[in-house]
Amino acid sequence: MLNQQRINEMKERVFEANQALPQLGLVKLTWGNVSEIDRELGIVVIKPSGVDYAEMKKEQMVVTDLKGNVLEEKSLRPSSDLATHIVLYENMTEIHSIVHTHSTHAVMWAQAGREVPAYGTTHADTFYGSIPCTRQLTEKEVQEAYEVYTGKVIVETFLKEKKEAVDVPGVLVFGHGPFTWGETAKKAVQNSLVLEEVCEMARQTEELNAKAEPIPQYLLDKHYYRKHGKNAYYGQK
């Protein structure tokens, strides 16, 4: 009973977060999805696959276990990207929600196969350093288990670049698009919005100054830790 209430609240939050994506201009048509994990209950709630945002209902959010098995009868099919979410939840144990979009400027960087340099404080307020771009998936990976390897190549990228998921709450998948995450579904959506914005800013920064440099480490530290960690002083207590 109590658990059902928690699940219903997850469904509500996941529904609201999914609805926010087209409202914020981050998603067109049915592109994009949000999920949330409850590690205690061992469940994930995610958007159903290919349902119009305008017709979607919160009851339709899909409940699965941590292997991706659908738990409710009469459930719709989960987002086809569920397997990617699950790999990320398994490997990034501090995150509670994941967002995937095809937002315009983030996709451009993903298609260009480039990490996004931290050119300013707008970036540093949310992302501690450059936002990485994965390598291209191999033919074998794509054919064997595309969505699983999409998650794996993200984890590989963070390991290789020695980045922590909590410090850099987003990534670009080569040729595909962005994933972001956060402590809550609302925060994960906000991180998608920030990612889109800094991608637009960064592209045109380079047009204005072909020799533009990332901000110095001390300014990155200042802005990031002004908002995060025990010495943060931005916002209300």
Q: Which is nearer to its own copies, 4 or 236 (CB)?
A: 236
Binding residues vs its own copies (CB under 8 A)? 28-31, 48-51, 76-77, 80, 102, 104-105, 107-114, 119-122, 125, 136-137, 139, 142-143, 146, 175-177, 190, 193-194, 197, 200-209, 212, 215-216, 218-219, 222, 226, 233-237
Q: What SS3 string covers the chain?
A: CHHHHHHHHHHHHHHHHHHHHHHCCCCCCCCCEEEEEECCCCEEEECECCCCCCCCCHHHCEEEECCCCECCCCCCCECCCHHHHHHHHHHCCCCCEEEECCCHHHHHHHHHCCCECCCCHHHHCCCCCCECECCCCCHHHHHHHHHHHHHHHHHHHHHHCCCCCCCCCEEEECCCEEEEEECCHHHHHHHHHHHHHHHHHHHHHHHHCCCCCCCCHHHHHHHHHHHCCCCCCCCCC
Based on the residue annotation, tell me whether 234 is a catalytic residue of this protein.
yes
Q: Which is nearer to its own copies, 41 or 219 (CB)?
A: 219
Task: Work out how close the CB of 164 gets to its own copies at its nearest, in angstroms, rounded to a whole number.
Answer: 22
Tokens of 31: 């592109």
Task: Work out how close the CB of 9 gets to its own copies at its nearest, in angstroms, rounded to a whole number.
Answer: 20
Catalytic residue among 53, 221, 233, 234: 234
Catalytic residue among 52, 81, 89, 125: 125
Q: Which is nearer to its own copies, 3 or 72 (CB)?
A: 72
Q: Which is nearer to its own copies, 98 or 117 (CB)?
A: 117
Task: Work out how close the CB of 93 gets to its own copies at its nearest, in angstroms, rounded to a whole number.
Answer: 26
Task: Work out how close the CB of 165 gets to its own copies at its nearest, in angstroms, rounded to a whole number.
Answer: 21
Q: Which is nearer to its own copies, 6 or 222 (CB)?
A: 222
Based on the residue annotation, tell me whether 218 is a catalytic residue of this protein.
no
Query: Considering only CA atoms, which of 73, 82, 97 is closest in space to residue 13?
Result: 97
Task: Work out how close the CB of 29 gets to its own copies at its nearest, in angstroms, rounded to a whole number.
Answer: 6
CA 25, 213, 168 angle in degrees (round to 5)?
50
Active site residues: 125, 234
